[in-house]
């Protein structure tokens, strides 16, 4: 370590000084090798003075007189040793050969009093070995250090926010990083500001703007995993104002025990700003319908379905049935969960099946007799369902009904439907179909079913397929613009893990027919979300006031069926539950006998794709559904054009 520590000061010396150091080294090597040559010849160490019969000083003077001019003329002192390769080594060997020939001529061929003739052969050999070894050592010692220092100098300069244990561990992990270079810490603790940690200064966050200019800081690494969401948001607000990219470590709950690794760092996600401090889960509710039971999840490969499966697996069922119609999605989630199983004795069964196939669904129910079913399978992309209404209704309504009736027939105790805020006063087919699915379960529950049917309604989840977050992130990576349908569009957001956890707990509270509504916090304007995402990458918004900005936001207009604001309740009388973030809605529905009759009529219209009748029936069934006056079903539009 000491040699490595000294390498950088040596490399920092002026070139002239470095050459003088090398010349001095060669002078020492000439002297040393003459002395060693005398020892090898005589078998004893001789004095370098001339008071004896032996005269090593004369041999040393001749070595200096020959070696230094030959090495200088051979450009040995102009070579950069840390870069020395075969060509440089060949130059050294050539110079040493000339030296050896001259030195041997003087002492071996002609001879000199007090110097044995064999010295003329032994000394050049020794000098050659020492000179080559010294150059190789210099290349090994200085070359690696120089390359490391040079590369480190070119790395992005970063500051670590948080001078605590986590910050120190992160700095240690980045000490030899090839990705970034830590130049200091940020911390608002007065007793720490101005101190040194790991040899790096600790600055106050208020100095960040100056540091960006004076030190060329490109990123701030947030290393305070134990702080609250509110504190983190306050810090992130300061960072985004400074126009610096921010990366963060996971929360304390997510970090693996032990030292922090550079792989723990991740790009700052938008949920770091929009998310909330998690409410500790109720263990009794989490385990009630899952622990040591057979659990079936439809739509297991989707965003919500796959997260449900992850959390269910952690709780510990005896068997987890993954039902999915997409082969690739099923393969992916099964492979992921199989790695998590390790030594857990849980049967993990991947099952290809469509929820619309009554025979297949009953076949699965009969084979495993699940205790609990989480029904997450649905077509949920508003524009796609609007353009393909018959398929959307067939999957979302009749697919739900198929799974629900099969569950009731095969003794499933608890059935939980994953619903959406778009089911409230819907303006699109997707939302209306989900509300009709809710009504079907409410009617079945009201018809005296032994299965506890319940549904959990919530808004958008961050990072799910179809979410604006991954779309905006990709558009930012591509250099923009970010496309937004309307500047006033507003949505509720929740993280996928929080949503899945609340779904499990809500389902455990069901007694039959409940519509649970999750507390989604405050609604978020999508244009504000887009601005936040631009700022979190250290870029700037490009608009009329900032024409030199990096990313522009482009307004494209509302899509068919899309509305500006989403709601979570149809009625205005939600009831609290034992969980602070789960409410119980009081939603009206049709009795099963009446609803079933109307569903049969709707099914007949679906079978002939009578879109006008389908939308009319949907409007009659779903209270508050405001259908678009224009039919945008692709098949209907194409058929109309041909006629």
Q: Given this model, what pLDDT does residue 53 score?
A: 64
Same domain, 9 and 35: yes
Taking only the tens place, the pLDDT of each residue in 100-134 is 898 888 888 888 877 888 888 888 888 888 887 87
Domain presence at residue 117: yes
Same domain, 162 and 142: no
Higher per-residue confidence, 554 vs 602: 602
**What does the pLDDT average to over 336-350?**
88
Same domain, 248 and 354: no
Q: Which two tokens stand for residue 102?
A: 């001259």
Spatial CB neighbours of 486, under 8 Å, sequence gap ≥ 6:
555, 557, 558, 564
pLDDT class for 414, splitting at 50, 70, 90?
Answer: very high
| Average confidence score pLDDT of the chain | 81
**Final residue before a domain boundary, out of 95, 119, 154:** 154
User: Is the pLDDT assigned to residue 606 strictly greater than 60?
Assistant: yes
Residues annotated as part of the active site: 422
pLDDT class for 461, splitting at 50, 70, 90?
Answer: low
Same domain, 40 and 62: yes
Q: Given this model, what pLDDT does residue 255 score?
A: 42
Higher per-residue confidence, 419 vs 218: 419
**Final residue before a domain boundary, out of 115, 132, 154:** 154
Q: Quote the CA–CA distance of 486 and 167 in Å, as a whole number.
A: 41
**Final residue before a domain boundary, out of 109, 130, 154:** 154
- Helix, strand, coil in percent for the chain, rounding step 5: 50, 15, 35
Same domain, 380 and 231: no
* CB neighbours of residue 280 within 10 Å: 6
Same domain, 142 and 105: yes
**What does the pLDDT average to over 233-238?**
74
Q: Given this model, what pLDDT does residue 10 score?
A: 53
- Smallest CA-to-CA distance from 561 within 623, 632, 493 is with 632
**What does the pLDDT average to over 62-80?**
76
User: Is the pLDDT assigned to residue 9 strictly greater than 80?
Assistant: no
Domain presence at residue 426: yes
Domain presence at residue 82: yes
Spatial CB neighbours of 368, under 8 Å, sequence gap ≥ 6:
294, 296, 319, 321, 349
Higher per-residue confidence, 302 vs 133: 302
Higher per-residue confidence, 11 vs 431: 431
Domain presence at residue 483: no
Q: Quote the CA–CA distance of 530 and 270 in Å, as a whole number.
A: 9
Phi and psi at residue 474, to the nearest 5°: -65, -40
Domain presence at residue 471: no
Q: How many domains is the chain built from?
A: 3
User: Is the pLDDT assigned to residue 469 strictly greater than 90?
Assistant: no
Spatial CB neighbours of 447, under 8 Å, sequence gap ≥ 6:
591, 592
Q: Which CATH number goes with the domain that contains 308?
A: 3.40.50.720
> Domain range holding 189?
157-268
Same domain, 294 and 347: yes
Q: Quote the CA–CA distance of 182 and 214 in Å, as a whole number.
A: 15
User: Is the pLDDT assigned to residue 630 strictly greater than 60?
Assistant: yes
User: Is the pLDDT assigned to residue 82 strictly greater than 60?
Assistant: no
What are the beta bridge partners of residue 347? Answer: 319
Q: Given this model, what pLDDT does residue 476 score?
A: 84
Q: Which two tokens stand for residue 585?
A: 């809605």
**What does the pLDDT average to over 556-578?**
67
**What does the pLDDT average to over 221-246?**
74
Domain presence at residue 32: yes
Q: Given this model, what pLDDT does residue 3 score?
A: 45
Q: Indicate left, alpha or beta for 258 from its phi (over 0: left) and psi (-120 to 50: alpha).
A: left
Torsion of CA 65, 70, 75, 81, to 10 degrees: -70
Same domain, 136 and 215: no
Q: Quote the CA–CA distance of 130 and 32 in Å, as a whole number.
A: 10
Domain presence at residue 599: yes
pLDDT class for 573, splitting at 50, 70, 90?
Answer: low
Higher per-residue confidence, 210 vs 365: 365
Same domain, 369 and 252: no
- pTM higher than 0.85, yes or no? no
Q: Given this model, what pLDDT does residue 566 score?
A: 59
Same domain, 120 and 231: no
Spatial CB neighbours of 145, under 8 Å, sequence gap ≥ 6:
4, 7, 8, 11
Q: Quote the CA–CA distance of 611 and 590 in Å, as a whole number.
A: 23
Using alpha carbons, list the distances in angstroms from residue 483 to 26, 308, 530, 554, 565.
Answer: 69, 31, 9, 5, 18
Which range is least confidently modeled, 52-61, 201-210, 413-422? 52-61
Q: Quote the CA–CA distance of 496 and 460 in Å, as a whole number.
A: 9
Same domain, 429 and 313: yes
Domain presence at residue 51: yes
Same domain, 139 and 288: no
Q: Given this model, what pLDDT does residue 115 score?
A: 83
Torsion of CA 554, 480, 540, 532, to 10 degrees: 70
């Amino acid at each position: 370590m000491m040699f490595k520590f000294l390498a950088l000061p040596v490399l920092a010396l002026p070139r002239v000084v470095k050459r003088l150091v090398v010349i001095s080294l060669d002078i020492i090597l000439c002297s040393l090798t003459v002395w060693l040559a005398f020892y090898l010849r005589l078998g004893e160490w001789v004095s370098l003075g001339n008071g004896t019969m032996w005269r090593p000083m004369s041999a040393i003077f001749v070595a200096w007189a020959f070696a230094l001019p030959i090495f200088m003329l051979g450009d040995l002192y102009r070579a950069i040793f840390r870069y020395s390769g075969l060509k440089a080594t060949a130059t050294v060997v050539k110079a040493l050969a000339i030296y050896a020939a001259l030195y041997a001529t003087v002492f071996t061929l002609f001879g000199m009093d007090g110097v044995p003739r064999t010295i003329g052969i032994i000394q050049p050999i020794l000098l050659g070995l020492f000179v080559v070894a010294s150059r190789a050592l210099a290349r090994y010692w200085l070359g690696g250090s120089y390359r490391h220092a040079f590369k480190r100098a070119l790395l992005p300069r970063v500051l670590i926010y948080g001078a605590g244990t986590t910050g120190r561990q992160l700095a240690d992990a980045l000490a030899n990083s090839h990705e970034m270079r830590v130049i200091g810490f940020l911390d608002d603790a007065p007793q720490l500001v101005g101190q040194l940690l790991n040899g790096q200064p600790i600055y106050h966050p208020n100095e960040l703007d100056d540091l960006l200019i004076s030190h060329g800081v490109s990123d701030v690494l947030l290393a305070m995993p134990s702080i609250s969401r509110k504190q983190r948001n306050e810090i992130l607000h300061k960072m985004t104002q400074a126009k610096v990219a921010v990366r963060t470590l996971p929360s304390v709950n997510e970090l693996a025990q032990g030292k922090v690794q550079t792989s723990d760092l991740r790009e700052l996600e938008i949920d770091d700003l929009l998310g909330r401090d998690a409410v500790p889960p109720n263990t009794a509710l989490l385990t009630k319908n899952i622990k040591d039971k057979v659990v079936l999840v439809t739509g297991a490969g989707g965003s919500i379905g796959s997260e449900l499966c992850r959390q269910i697996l952690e709780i510990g069922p005896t068997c987890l049935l993954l039902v999915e119609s997409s082969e690739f999605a099923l393969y992916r989630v099964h492979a992921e969960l199989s790695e998590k199983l390790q030594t857990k004795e849980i049967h993990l069964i991947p099952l290809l099946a469509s929820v619309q196939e009554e025979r297949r669904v009953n076949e699965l129910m009969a084979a495993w007799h699940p205790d609990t079913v989480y029904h997450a399978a649905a077509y949920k992309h508003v524009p796609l369902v609007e353009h393909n209404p018959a398929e959307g209704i067939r999957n979302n309504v009749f697919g739900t009904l198929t799974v629900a009736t099969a569950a009731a027939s095969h003794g499933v105790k608890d059935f939980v439907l994953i619903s959406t805020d778009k089911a409230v006063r819907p303006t699109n087919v997707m939302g209306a179909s989900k509300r009709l699915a809710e009504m079907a379960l409410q009617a079945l529950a009201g018809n005296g079913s032994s299965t506890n049917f319940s549904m959990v309604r919530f808004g958008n989840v961050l990072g799910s397929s179809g979410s604006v977050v991954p779309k905006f992130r990709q558009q930012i990576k591509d250099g923009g613009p970010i496309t937004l349908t309307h500047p006033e569009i507003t949505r509720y957001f929740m993280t996928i893990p929080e949503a899945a956890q609340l779904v499990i707990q809500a389902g455990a509270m069901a007694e039959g027919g409940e519509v649970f509504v999750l507390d989604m916090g405050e609604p978020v304007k999508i244009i504000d979300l887009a601005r936040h995402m631009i700022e979190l990458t250290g870029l700037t918004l490009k608009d009329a006031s900032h024409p030199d900005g990096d990313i522009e936001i482009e307004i494209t207009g509302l899509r068919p069926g899309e509305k500006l604001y989403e709601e979570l309740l149809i009625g205005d009388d939600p009831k609290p539950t034992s969980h602070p973030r789960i409410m119980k809605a009081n939603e009206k529905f049709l009795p099963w006998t009446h609803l079933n009759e109307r569903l049969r009529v709707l099914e007949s219209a679906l079978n002939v794709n009578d879109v006008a009748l389908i939308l009319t029936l949907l409007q009659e069934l779903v209270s508050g559904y405001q259908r678009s006056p224009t039919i945008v079903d692709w098949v209907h539009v194409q058929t109309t054009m041909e006629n």
